[in-house]
Amino acid sequence: MNYGIVLFPSKSFQDLANGYRRRYDSHYANIAPHITVKERFSLEDKGELSKLVEALRELARQTPPISIDVYKVDTFYPQSTTIFYKIRENAELSALNMKLYEPPFPTDRAHSIFIPHVTIAQKLPQSEHADIVGQLKMTDISHQETIDRVQLLYQLDNESWTVYETFLLQGQA
Amino acid sequence: MNYGIVLFPSKSFQDLANGYRRRYDSHYANIAPHITVKERFSLEDKGELSKLVEALRELARQTPPISIDVYKVDTFYPQSTTIFYKIRENAELSALNMKLYEPPFPTDRAHSIFIPHVTIAQKLPQSEHADIVGQLKMTDISHQETIDRVQLLYQLDNESWTVYETFLLQGQA
């Protein structure tokens, strides 16, 4: 079974992102706008899951709420035609990501560098990508908020994601 | 902002329900298969929300995990052309529903009777409804499981639902 760990930003920011995702993101219907802090991983049995849930609970107890600062539109091109809202790198978010790739969490990384972001377009044909990224880079984006919870998701056979459990970030800043 | 409270059944049962929902349920992409225990309600501000979250936390602490027994396909026709997996009525589920309509939760009910179910088809034209309900009623369905968490959801502008917080059912049976 596939799992992932994400932060969901506030509704207003999710609604903004969905305005683009509806048109440009083939995963639009599979999940709400989110910041991935641990990419898809697989667990075989309930025992592994409960060990991981326990670790996540402890990690959330120690981790303070995380401030995010969305400051521009960027693209992963030429690696992919994914366009995203870029979140300014910050020590708290990086630390959370790092801990989620240390045991008892699975340690394999699909990407060697963690670039915190909210995807707004993906799997675009190259020519469309160039057009859209040009337009979007001209829009001003500046959004700050503090996120006080992480969400452990699981994936259904239709590729959509559902929340398994919420963990409140309760550490002292 | 709109909220709702649901139970999500296990992945295997969700996958089964999605096999039908993909074809017959216009809300397929908005939410994973679920059992609604409190229908959509609206809260105006963060203060109301935190009062409700606190009450839900307390209610979950007292409520034991809930056994569900899915035993047949049924329809709300002629009220609507919604087809659903019917869950055998049980005292725990009814008690949870009842408490979620007592203060501090909003007390308005859209439906006077609580019929626990998982929707698999809705908004069908009447002729299609008759066909499909006939077919589905002939399939044998028997599924039991125990659900140990409730999910507070909020609704985005695109009508999809996202989990705000999970509450583990921790009462003693």
User: For residues A84 and B44, which has the higher predicted lDDT (pLDDT)?
Assistant: A84
The alpha carbon of B96 is separated from its chain's Cα centroid by a whole number of angstroms, namely 12
Q: Write the pLDDT tens digit of every residue in B62-111.
A: 999 999 999 999 999 999 999 999 999 999 999 999 999 999 999 999 88
Residue B130 in contact with partner chain A when CB distance is under 8 A? no
Q: Write the pLDDT tens digit of every residue in A76-133.
A: 999 999 999 999 999 999 999 999 999 999 999 988 899 999 999 999 999 999 999 9
Average pLDDT over residues A146-169: 98
Chain A residue numbers touching B11 (CB-CB < 8 A): 1, 154, 156
- pLDDT score for B50: 94
- pLDDT score for B41: 97
With CA atoms as reference, report the closest residue to B27 among B101, B121, B108, B97. Answer: B121
DSSP 8-state class, residue B65: P
Question: Mean pLDDT across chain A, nearest whole number?
Answer: 95
Contact status, residue B150 vs residue B169, Cβ threshold 8 Å: yes
Q: Give CA torsion, residues A117, A121, A127, A130, to 10 deg.
A: -40
**B4 pLDDT tier (thresholds 50, 70, 90):** very high
Residue A163 in contact with partner chain B when CB distance is under 8 A? yes
- pLDDT score for B81: 96
- Please tell me which of the candidates A32, A157, A163 has its beta carbon nearest to residue B160: A32
- pLDDT score for A31: 97
The alpha carbon of B76 is separated from its chain's Cα centroid by a whole number of angstroms, namely 15
Give, in order, the Cα–Cα distances in Å from A62 to each of A96, A102, A112: 10, 15, 25
Q: Euclidean distance between the first and final Cα of chain A, in Å?
A: 34
B173 has a pLDDT exceeding 90: no
Question: Mean pLDDT across chain B, nearest whole number?
Answer: 95
Cβ atoms within 10 Å of A108's Cβ, excluding its own: 9
B21 has a pLDDT exceeding 90: yes
CA of B153: which chain A residue's CA is closest? A163
**A60 pLDDT tier (thresholds 50, 70, 90):** very high
CA distance B28 to chain A (A): 9
Q: Write the pLDDT tens digit of every residue in B138-148.
A: 988 999 999 99
- How buried is B31 (Cβ within 10 angstroms: 0-12 exposed, 13-18 middle, 19+ buried)? buried
Q: Give the CB-side neighbour count of residue A133, counting CA atoms within 13 A.
A: 22
CA distance B78 to chain A (A): 31
- Please tell me which of the candidates B14, B29, B158 has its beta carbon nearest to residue A18: B158
- Please tell me which of the candidates A154, A165, A166 has its beta carbon nearest to residue B11: A154
Euclidean distance between CA atoms A9 and A11, whole angstroms: 7
Residue B34: active-site member: yes
Share of chain B above pLDDT 70, in %: 100
Instruction: Please tell me chain A's helix, strand, coil percentages from 3-state DSSP, rounded to the nearest 5.
Output: 30, 30, 35
Which domains are delineated in chain A? 2-168 (3.90.1140.10)
